[in-house]
Amino acid sequence: MGMRTSESTLAMTFVFYLSAAAAIVAALLAITRANVVHALLYFICSLLATAVMFFVLGAPFVAALVVIINAGAIMVLFVFVVMMLNSAPGSIEHERAWLKPRVWIGPVLLCVVLIIELVYSLMQYRTGAIAGRTIEPRQVGIALFGPYLLAVELASMLLLAGLLGAYHLGRGALTSGGERP
């Protein structure tokens, strides 16, 4: 068992470094793209690489949070705003020009690397049922609603403030969007 464990740890460490490299490369590409949509694609790749890093570090709860909330919800907000900003006539041609197949190649390659890593580490996770160093979601939940209860309440108030602020600021943008100079 010990031999198998060390082999598996070595493989997981390799997966960690590979996804760290993917995260850094994707972040570098994201901040150097001229086009916002391309930057968004690379940034989503960077987030997914971070999620794989969290998973092999033994934090599956946070990995799921990154994929669902960060790469899912927050990035969808960005995409919505980019779409709203480009709702001028002729924008379909623009988007078609932005999303040429060769634009997709870089993010898709990075994501293929990540999904191979993820499937591999999931298989390891399943078979090597030792997982002694993984911090389970159960422990995180106990910590969240035990010693950190007040902070959770503050986080909910912060989200409420964000919601109200976004509503207040966005209302004017929606009602009088046509009279832009």
**For residues 15 and 117, is the Cβ–Cβ distance under 8 A?**
yes
Site for another protein in 48-67 (CB under 8 A): 50, 53-54, 56-59, 61-62, 65-66
**For residues 136 and 62, is the Cβ–Cβ distance under 8 A?**
no
Count of residues of this chain found to bind another protein when the rule CB under 8 A is applied: 75
Nearer to another protein, 28 or 99 (CB): 28
Q: How far apart are CA 124 and CA 70, in angstroms?
A: 26
> Contact between 87 and another protein (CB under 8 A)?
no
> Contact between 43 and another protein (CB under 8 A)?
yes
* Residue of 2, 89, 90, 132 that binds another protein (CB under 8 A): 132
Which tokens belong to 41? 């694609």
Q: How far apart are CA 91 and CA 77, in angstroms?
A: 19
The interface region with another protein, picked from 92-100, 108-116, 165-173 by CB under 8 A, is: 165-173
> Contact between 88 and another protein (CB under 8 A)?
no
* Residue of 2, 3, 47, 94 that binds another protein (CB under 8 A): 47
* Residue of 3, 106, 140, 153 that binds another protein (CB under 8 A): 140
- Residue 15, exposed/middle/buried by CB under 10 A (0-12, 13-18, 19+)? buried
Least CB distance to another protein at residue 102 (A): 21
> Which amino acid belongs to residue 150?
L
> Contact between 119 and another protein (CB under 8 A)?
no
* Residue of 97, 108, 131, 153 that binds another protein (CB under 8 A): 131
> Which amino acid belongs to residue 94?
H
Alpha-carbon torsion, ordered 120, 125, 126, 128, to 10 deg: 110
Our CA angle for 102, 54, 80, nearest 5°, is 45
Least CB distance to another protein at residue 109 (A): 19
